[in-house]
A = this chain, B = another copy of it.
Amino acid sequence: MLPESLNRLEEKFRIYRSKLYATDETPKLIAPRASSDFVVLKPQNTQEVAEILKFANEMKIPVFVRGGGTGLSGGAVPISSGIVLSTERLKEIKIDEKNRFADCGAGVTLYELEKAAERHGLSFPPHPGAETATVGGMIATNAGGMRALKYGTIRNYVLCCEVVLADGSILEVGSRTLKNSTGYSLLHLFIGSEGTLGVITKATLKLFPSMRGSVGVVAAFESLEEAAEKSLELTKLLPLSLELVEDRAVKIGEEVTGKRWPGEGKAYIFAIFEDFEDSEMASDVLRMDVYVATKKELKDLMSIRGSIYEGIKDKIIEILDVCVPPAEVPKYIKMSSQIARKYGVDVITYGHAGDGNIHQHPLIYDGWEKSYFNFRDEIFNVALSLGGVISGEHGIGTVKKEEFRRYYAKQYELMKKIKNLMDPNGILNPGKIF
């Protein structure tokens, strides 16, 4: 139960109790159960975040930081009695056109960031799915997404952050420079720390000149394995993104959007290039005809690809998110399909083949509770045996923490020590990662 002392906060902050803050986008069957005993605070600036943390630390009250609530691993769910700290009001955004930096409050959404950059003739290349994701959330989870192939995940775009530590003190990490060699990179320690080391309140992100172009290419194949084999060759052309999509996934996206995907196959490669020349070379590299999309068509393709999750999310147990070395994708697809057949699990596959980050979507089946976690463990073991990891971009959150502890015991131990050092009372997003 939340302590009486919460009254002290009520004098200063409006306290919300909306159940909308109890969940994120994690598929229901695997999502953690929210506590029925949490309050929501919406600080308006860094000072208020600092006050809340100072108070929570003194009182040893758990603080669950929340950005856009678009996470897929239960990271934002308040799983015990405590405070949900929503960054939604940290909204200031300033585009520094000359430096091509965006100075953002943690609550700025991906959509707002993209629009602001565009107004200044600039762009923010990565695109981690949900446009309601926030800057703070994308950094705290080191979000990836489709366009992480050429220029990397969010990690590569963050120059500095303002963070509030567990005791309420405010720290700047990183700098507004493109290079920095002043001691350990505390910045990179916070990137991907899932709200467990501090609350990100501001960040400076690197922008790019407007993309010179983006040309979509679609190639159809007889099987997912064949598409996977071919996709590796295409990476030589350094596309912005390189997706592998099963036909069933395409059909779901078509249904949701009412739009049409080109070609007929069991599986597709969908690549985006910066230059038209490269898109032409794609045909040579693949030694086959490819469909080159017009600008308008590319929008439709993106929209179909982006809508698959919406159409599928109520039918699946979860989204697997393993990442393997790119050259191992064909083998991974083959081996994981065998495991799926063995367990009788029907899996719909699409994902970022170019960087080896494959999303597999096991459909709900009767009695799944009995065999699913064995199936999943076998999948994880295949990924690990190929040099892969159990999460490429969705993070550990609550949904993979047992496996994380098991498979990464040594690293876990050191991470836990760092966690204890920086949050001795364990108030920051407890029950996540660890």
Contact = CB atoms under 8 A, between A and B. Distances in A.
B327 A171 contact: no
Given A98-B327, A156-B156, A232-B98, A392 B179 contact: yes
Contacts of A201: none
B178 A356 contact: yes
Given A209-B238, A325-B99, A418-B418, A191 B181 contact: no
Contacts of A172: 410-411
B327 A183 contact: no
Contacts of A419: 184
Number of copies: 2
Given A99-B325, A417-B421, A185 B189 contact: yes
Interface string A163-196: 0000001011101111111111110110111000
Interface in A62-104: 96, 98-101
A185 B188 contact: yes
A20 interface: no
Q: How large is the interface on A (under 10, 10 to 19, 20 to 34, 35 or more residues)?
A: 35 or more
B171 A410 contact: yes
Interface stretch (A141-149, A217-225, A306-314, A367-375): A141-149
B186 A324 contact: no
B395 A355 contact: no
Interface stretch (A288-296, A337-345, A382-390): A382-390
A393 interface: yes
A175 B388 contact: yes
A357 B142 contact: no
A433 interface: yes
Nearest to A355: B178
B99 A326 contact: yes
Nearest to A392: B179
A185 B191 contact: yes
Interface in A104-121: none
Contacts of A99: 325-328
A193 B189 CA distance: 13
Interface in A354-380: 355-357
26 contacts: A96-B325, A96-B327, A98-B232, A99-B326, A144-B181, A172-B411, A173-B411, A176-B387, A176-B388, A177-B325, A178-B323, A179-B357, A180-B323, A180-B389, A181-B389, A181-B391, A181-B396, A182-B389, A182-B390, A182-B408, A183-B411, A184-B189, A184-B197, A185-B192, A417-B421, A421-B421
In the A-B complex, list the 4 residue pairs whose CB atoms are closest, starting with the nearest.
Answer: A188-B188, A98-B327, A179-B392, A178-B355
